[in-house]
């Protein structure tokens, strides 16, 4: 069997940063309780691993003892949650994805100008809840074109749409087209709100899936972007399965499959992908072809709130960087396990 391994896949920079934040806290605060507001990312394995290390996930700030450490997840929080944390004298460490922070800033800016904001996304998703909390009187959530007739618009010339960062390009485009038809004067954000990593993973699936008879997406069911990757493959005519890990593989899926595409949602850790590769090679033999569509090697600094805590604990922060290089890490894994592999570049555009 040939396994086409999509690159990019798995952790995006924002998720990778959020997980590193909690890892750093566990290392520098041994024995201290660490609380995370909501799931740090939408992946069952990541959350369970942190639980086993003593991290406590909470759904209300009131659950955190006064003066304790609380981490805001990659999805972001509303100003109300931040105020509640300050009122309890909590040491808040912000692991919000920078792209989510960008959408929050846009919401604040346009609300202050007196504009109405239509936020395209899933109403109950934590990212949307947090963004809406920045300006609840100015923001209305639009999940689908069916919501448009129920919107209350005061001045169509002072109207802008923003989007949840993890939306499918197709889903977002459907709603945006309908909004532009209903409100021809509606403005769009200065730059796209949809995460470049979300876009790149979806584009890679579209580009590679036609070569395969089956697409496997590693990710949890509550991960929006993982679900979308599965749907994109299916909508383009390739059978696709969403799995949490290798234990969910079913033999019947592989009847007649000579080539499969393996990818992962932006909140899925790479070791789960490696375990799926190892299981497939054990069952079927074959080789891995890593298909590079976009180069997402990323290096960035620690969040300011984490740097401040590390300095207060006497830890050096000068020059500390977080580096993500999946192509290198995967090549090392394949070589270490004697799995036949090679890499090909598929140039279809540039990441944003």
Q: Which residues are catalytic?
A: 127
DSSP label of 79:
H
Nearest CA to 351 out of 53, 21, 99, 101 is that of 99
Q: Which helix (H) or strand (E) holds 118?
A: strand 116-120
Strand partners, 322: 300
Cα angle: 229, vertex 231, 235; to 5 degrees: 120
Q: Which helix (H) or strand (E) holds 34?
A: strand 34-37
CA 115, distance to chain mean position in Å, is 28
SS3 314: coil
DSSP label of 343:
E
Q: Hunting for tokens 């922060």 — which residue is that? A: 317
Tell me phi and psi for residue 290, to 5 degrees.
Answer: -80, 120
Residue 269 class from Cβ within 10 Å (0-12 exposed, 13-18 middle, 19+ buried)? Answer: buried
SS3 339: coil
Cα angle: 182, vertex 163, 44; to 5 degrees: 140
What sign has the CA pseudo-torsion 118, 120, 125, 131? negative
Nearest CA to 46 out of 215, 270, 231 is that of 270
CA 20, distance to chain mean position in Å, is 14
Rounded Cα distance, 252 and 308, in Å: 53
Bridge pairing between strands 139-142 and 214-218: unpaired
């Amino acid at each position: 069997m040939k396994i086409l391994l999509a690159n990019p896949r798995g952790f995006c920079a924002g998720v990778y940063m959020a997980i590193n934040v909690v890892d750093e806290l566990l290392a520098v605060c041994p024995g201290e309780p660490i609380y995370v507001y909501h799931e740090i990312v939408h992946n069952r394995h990541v959350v369970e691993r942190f639980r086993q290390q003593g991290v406590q996930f909470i759904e209300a700030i009131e659950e955190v003892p006064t003066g304790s450490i609380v981490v805001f997840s990659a999805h972001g929080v509303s100003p109300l949650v931040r105020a509640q944390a300050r009122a309890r004298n909590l040491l808040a460490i912000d692991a919000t994805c920078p792209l989510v922070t960008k959408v929050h800033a846009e919401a604040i800016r346009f609300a202050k100008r007196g504009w109405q904001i239509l936020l395209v996304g899933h109403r109950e998703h934590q990212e949307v809840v947090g963004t809406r909390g920045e300006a609840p009187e100015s923001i209305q959530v639009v999940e689908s074109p069916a919501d448009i007739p129920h919107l209350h618009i005061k001045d169509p010339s002072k109207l802008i749409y923003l989007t949840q960062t993890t939306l499918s390009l197709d889903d977002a485009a459907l709603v945006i087209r309908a909004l532009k038809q209903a409100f021809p004067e509606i403005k769009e954000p200065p730059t796209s709100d949809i995460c470049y990593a979300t876009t790149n993973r979806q584009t890679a699936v579209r580009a590679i899936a036609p070569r395969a008879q089956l697409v496997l997406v590693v990710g949890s069911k509550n991960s929006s972007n993982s679900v979308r990757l599965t749907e994109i493959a299916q909508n383009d005519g390739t059978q696709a399965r969403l799995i949490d890990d290798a234990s969910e593989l079913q033999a019947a899926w592989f009847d007649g499959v000579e080539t499969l595409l393996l990818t992962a949602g932006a909140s899925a850790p790479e070791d789960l992908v490696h375990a799926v590769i190892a299981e497939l090679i054990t069952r079927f033999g074959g080789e891995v072809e890593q298909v590079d569509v976009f180069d997402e090697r990323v290096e960035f600094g620690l969040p300011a709130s984490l740097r401040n805590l590390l300095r207060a604990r006497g830890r050096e922060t000068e020059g500390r960087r977080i580096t993500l290089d999946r192509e290198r890490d995967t090549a090392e894994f394949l070589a270490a396990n004697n799995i036949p592999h090679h890499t090909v570049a598929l140039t279809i555009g540039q990441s944003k």
